[in-house]
Chain A
Amino acid sequence: MEVGRLPISATQKGKLISAGYTSLSSLSSLSPSLLSRDLSITETEALVIIKHASRGGSPSRSPAINGAQTAWEMLHEEELFTRITTSSADLDNILGGGISCKEVTEIGGIPGIGKTQIGIQLAVNVQIPVDCRGLGGKAIYIDTEGSFMVERVLQIAKACAEEMSANYDFSRNGLPSGQVLMQPQDFLENIICYRVCSYTEQIALVNSLDKIICAHREVKIVIIDSITFHFRQDFDDMALRTRLLSGMALKLMKLAKKFSLAVVLLNQAANKYTEGSLQLSLALGDSWSHACTNRIILYWNGNERYAYIDKSPSLRSRSAPYAVTSSGIRNLVSDSKRMKMM
């Protein structure tokens, strides 16, 4: 008898059983006042019983109950589900499984390194259904540079849909094999796109993101491509620029926490003057580099593209190669063995 397992006194157990409450589910929808009347006990006592019953009803209490999980399993699952894969195993590996939800991640690099490609890939990958170890979410893509092209999204979405169907265990879920799980058009439908033409528009949009996401709770990633473009023109007052940028970063961080979604900011690279010499770094200056939780720098190493974790509270600084292919971001396949960096 289930009520027998509840940590309550024997008299109470007896009262419960004699009143006909034998299973935990029979207690679950009960109000304390009703229970106190039925068992002729005080309402506080009834409340305690209901509390215990509801806690005992959750399967995690004891791994002996069928379908239960241990905390270890849950942790493991959490690690799987709160990250968005980049479609490159090497890249995912250094990122601890992918782009982290609840955090703001900045990805920067020189033109042509593949920032926009990673952005598009993430907007597609966030939609991978839960069945396929994805998030089954939607994406918001804020395009400030005009480089977001639907034909490229479609190309990447097609490749993603094909791979999903190829790797999906159809028999396990009782679906006819070879069935298409998601059409490429479905991917397009789940990407909400904004084209932003000035920094005022950009700030206004970031301010209203909260409201937008409230209406679209499925949104699991916000990508801004790029955060930089409109902030590199016409700012004579650099202090103002810094204030605006950090205000925006704070809002985005809050958003990431509140809705447990990933925020990905793409940044450009710029030459920085230090002590008379030019150095390559990400744009927007030193104060901005504190604004994001994670910072990933993309660079060329010979003929290969590499990503380097420049800053992260939980990840080691490591680098990994990746490739931009017609199907999107993938592992680098090369004859020469991967160079062990760092």
Chain B
Amino acid sequence: MRHETLLVRPRLTPKLTTGCPVLDGHLGGGLPCGLITEITAESGSGKTQLCLQLVLSAQLPSSLGGLSAASLFLHSEFPFPSRRLSQLAQALLSTHRSLFTPPYDPLDYIFVHPLHTADHLLDEMQKIESFLENSRTRLPVKLIIIDSIAALFRSEFDNTPLDLKRRSSMFFKISGRLKSIAKKFDLAVVITNQVVDLVGPSEGANGLRVGNLRSLYTSGRQVCAALGLAWANCVNSRIFLSRDEEFITEANESVHGSDESSIHRMRTRRRLHIVFAPHLPYSSCEFVIVREGIRGIER
């Protein structure tokens, strides 16, 4: 048995930068290695954007908060956003010209693999482990992303006690494997999850308060993370991204006519919330999605 006093462990768990100092500040430096971090949000909130940004910032050297590492992107939501990825890769190349000299292409260090079912994921897990052990790539793999876990489970299982039991046993199996891989290779695991609407009174199985927020709101609806309580027990920390549409009325200054003309604009306000994490208190932060990726807004 590996007996260790804490002195031999590094004081600070290695963290992977999100690529934005403001967000990193709220996350205690980034996403920790050796743990499973879940990102929960409705579609169009920026889950996949954040993941794409992570696979790129993982390639940065540790002086810039990266892991100098390649990453594995397992996706169950189709199609894989390769155009957006190459756009972000170009942005990364242009900001760090000195680091990445021409033959280097960030896309060479992102291994993308589709997932179709939960069983498929379990089958792949074996291959992933042997791939990590025998990897001959120039950069070691230090980040595994699964986008998304919910898509794998939403169709296959019924809402009967037996199926739910089978499903939660599957969750723990997947999580157990991922955690042991994360520990063995000291890599970060990021899993995205969908949300489900809460209908009716917020009691019952799904209305249960999990974590710092009494309830999760996005687009004016009360939601909760998909896959229930069993899955919530499988992840080490959970991050929630919310979005809200907002009308803003701006006086149009370019028109100096007699009639007051104004422009109505829709703006999406996005926030990142820490729902629970062993090392972080609750905090939240507004962010925007721009061409270069996700950027937090300092208040």
A-B interaction: yes
Which residues does A use to contact B, with CB under 8 Å?
A: 110-112, 116-117, 145-154, 185, 188-195, 197-198, 201, 204-205, 208, 212, 228-230, 232-235, 268-271, 273, 278, 280, 283, 300, 302-303, 324-326
B211 lies within 8 A of A111 (CB): yes
List of A residues within 8 angstroms of B278 by Cβ: 116-117, 147-149, 152
B2 lies within 8 A of A145 (CB): no
B9 lies within 8 A of A150 (CB): yes
A145 lies within 8 A of B179 (CB): yes
List of B residues within 8 angstroms of A230 by Cβ: 172, 176
List of B residues within 8 angstroms of A212 by Cβ: 3
B11 lies within 8 A of A233 (CB): no
A205 lies within 8 A of B1 (CB): yes
User: How many angstroms from the CA of A234 to the CA of B175 in the assembled complex?
Assistant: 12
A146 lies within 8 A of B210 (CB): no
Which residues does B use to contact A, with CB under 8 Å?
A: 1-7, 9-13, 28, 32, 34-36, 161, 168-169, 171-173, 175-176, 179-180, 182-184, 204-205, 208-212, 214, 228-230, 232-233, 235-236, 238, 275-276, 278-279, 281
List of B residues within 8 angstroms of A303 by Cβ: 214
Q: Known: A112-B238, A268-B233. Contact between A191 and B211, CB under 8 A?
A: no
Q: How far is the CB of B11 from chain A (nearest CB, A)?
A: 6
Q: Which residue on chain B has the smallest CB distance to residue A215?
A: B3
B172 lies within 8 A of A232 (CB): yes
The answer, among B13, B169, B184, B210, for a CB contact under 8 Å with A234, is: B169
Q: How far is the CB of B52 from chain A (nearest CB, A)?
A: 25
Q: Which residue on chain B has the smallest CB distance to residue A233?
A: B172
The answer, among B3, B171, B279, for a CB contact under 8 Å with A151, is: B279
Q: Known: A112-B275, A189-B5, A300-B209. Contact between A147 and B233, CB under 8 A?
A: no
Q: Known: A185-B7, A193-B6, A232-B169. Contact between A271 and B1, CB under 8 A?
A: no
Query: Would you call the interface of chain A mostly helix, strand, loop, or mixed?
Result: mixed
The answer, among A198, A208, A270, for a CB contact under 8 Å with B176, is: A198
B212 lies within 8 A of A188 (CB): no
A271 lies within 8 A of B169 (CB): no
B9 lies within 8 A of A112 (CB): no
Further contacts, 6 of them, CB under 8 A, given A149-B35, A278-B205: A151-B279, A193-B6, A194-B1, A195-B2, A230-B176, A271-B228
B6 lies within 8 A of A197 (CB): no
List of B residues within 8 angstroms of A148 by Cβ: 278
A112 lies within 8 A of B204 (CB): no
Q: Known: A146-B36, A273-B161. Contact between A233 and B5, CB under 8 A?
A: no
User: How many angstroms from the CA of A89 to the CA of B24 in the assembled complex?
Assistant: 35
Q: How far is the CB of A287 from chain B (nearest CB, A)?
A: 17
List of B residues within 8 angstroms of A197 by Cβ: 176, 179-180, 183-184
List of A residues within 8 angstroms of B209 by Cβ: 110, 300
- Some 30 contacts from A to B, beta carbons below 8 A apart, are A111-B233, A117-B278, A145-B179, A149-B13, A149-B279, A150-B11, A151-B11, A151-B13, A151-B279, A153-B6, A154-B11, A188-B7, A190-B5, A192-B3, A192-B5, A194-B4, A204-B1, A208-B1, A228-B233, A229-B172, A230-B176, A232-B230, A232-B233, A233-B171, A233-B172, A270-B230, A271-B230, A273-B161, A302-B214, A324-B281
Q: Which residue on chain A has the smallest CB distance to residue B178?
A: A146
User: How many angstroms from the CA of A191 to the CA of B5 in the assembled complex?
Assistant: 6
Going nearest first, the 3 A-B pairs with the smallest beta carbon separation are A112-B276, A112-B211, A233-B172
Q: Which residue on chain B has the smallest CB distance to residue A116?
A: B278
Q: How far is the CB of B280 from chain A (nearest CB, A)?
A: 9
List of A residues within 8 angstroms of B175 by Cβ: 229, 233
A150 lies within 8 A of B13 (CB): yes
Q: How far is the CB of B84 from chain A (nearest CB, A)?
A: 31
User: How many angstroms from the CA of A26 to the CA of B11 in the assembled complex?
Assistant: 55
Q: Which residue on chain B has the smallest CB distance to residue A157?
A: B6
List of A residues within 8 angstroms of B230 by Cβ: 232, 270-271
Q: Which residue on chain A has the smallest CB distance to residue B234?
A: A229
User: How many angstroms from the CA of A302 to the CA of B276 in the assembled complex?
Assistant: 17
User: How many angstroms from the CA of A111 to the CA of B278 in the assembled complex?
Assistant: 10
Q: How far is the CB of A93 from chain B (nearest CB, A)?
A: 25
Q: How far is the CB of A144 from chain B (nearest CB, A)?
A: 9
List of B residues within 8 angstroms of A194 by Cβ: 1-4
Q: How far is the CB of A240 from chain B (nearest CB, A)?
A: 14
Most buried by B among A147, A194, A270: A147
The answer, among A150, A229, A278, A326, for a CB contact under 8 Å with B10, is: A150
A270 lies within 8 A of B229 (CB): yes
Q: Which residue on chain B has the smallest CB distance to residue A280?
A: B208
B4 lies within 8 A of A198 (CB): no
